[in-house]
Amino acid sequence: MMNLKAPFITFEGGEGSGKSTQAEILYRRLLEGDINVVSYREPGGTKGAEHIRELLLNGEVERWTPTTEALLMSAARADLVQRRILPQLEGGTWVVCDRFIDSTIAYQGYGHGVGYKHIEMLNQFTVGALEPDLTFIFQMDPELGLARTALRGNKQDRYERLNQGFHQRVATGYEEILKRYPTRCVAINALLDIDMISEVIFKEVSRRFGLDWLK
């Protein structure tokens, strides 16, 4: 891990797990506490990465091969890391990110079957020694998560239209990540009340990064 000046916190989970909502809640709460913090999403966060996001989320389900998809994800991440994340962390600004390297492990590595080792090598090439200081992984039955996304009423993206088998493999991938990185990763029961989840997250952030003074 790099010796950086500020914490790097990521949120992970399957479709409809509520991780994006909680990433935004934590970001807003840190801002209200006068913490110098920025928030990003993956893929995205830069002009180039947002263009890649459109390519990945739209179109037919079989638009990309698994390997191509992993490379596109990594290209977007490389741009975000070099142009945004590293400069912010090195300058002392906290970074909250909705998805990061673990998403590629779970979605492309396990979901699409590219394999953990191949994605791990790709991640290392993309981000070098950078890894999150803390990762929250939201756990929920994939079928329930997809039902949640359907209730939003928005057009489903490519990933939301993939079959149940894919999403179950993604969930398995996240379970393996929790086992491999028990210190960095914290499991979150996505079925809990929104306010309860946000308190669990904030308490963990406070404990790890000395924010006991911030209520």
Q: Domain range holding 136?
A: 8-209
> Is 77 domain-assigned?
yes
pLDDT band at 211 (very low <50, low <70, confident <90, very high): confident
Quote the pLDDT of residue 213.
Answer: 61
Quote the pLDDT of residue 170.
Answer: 98
**In the chain, pLDDT over 70 holds for what percent of residues?**
97
* Res 24 pLDDT > 90: yes
**Average pLDDT value for the chain:** 94
Q: Give the chain's radius of gyration (CA, Å).
A: 16
Residue 183: how many CB atoms within 10 A of its CB?
A: 6
> Is 2 domain-assigned?
no
pLDDT band at 155 (very low <50, low <70, confident <90, very high): confident
> Is 215 domain-assigned?
no
> Is 56 domain-assigned?
yes
The mean per-residue pLDDT over the stretch 172-191 comes to 97
* Res 139 pLDDT > 60: yes
pLDDT per residue over 51-94, tens digit each? 999 999 999 999 999 999 999 999 999 999 999 999 999 999 99
pLDDT per residue over 94-135, tens digit each? 999 999 999 999 999 999 999 999 999 999 999 999 999 999
Q: Is 78 exposed, middle or buried (0-12, 13-18, 19+ CB in 10 A)?
A: middle
> Is 118 domain-assigned?
yes
> Is 158 domain-assigned?
yes
CATH code of the domain covering residue 72: 3.40.50.300
pLDDT band at 179 (very low <50, low <70, confident <90, very high): very high
Is the pTM here over 0.85, yes or no?
yes
User: Total structural domains in the chain?
Assistant: 1
DSSP states along 115-181? -HHHHHHHHHHHHTT---SEEEEEE--HHHHHHHHHHT-SPP-TTTTS-HHHHHHHHHHHHHHHHH-
* Res 1 pLDDT > 60: no
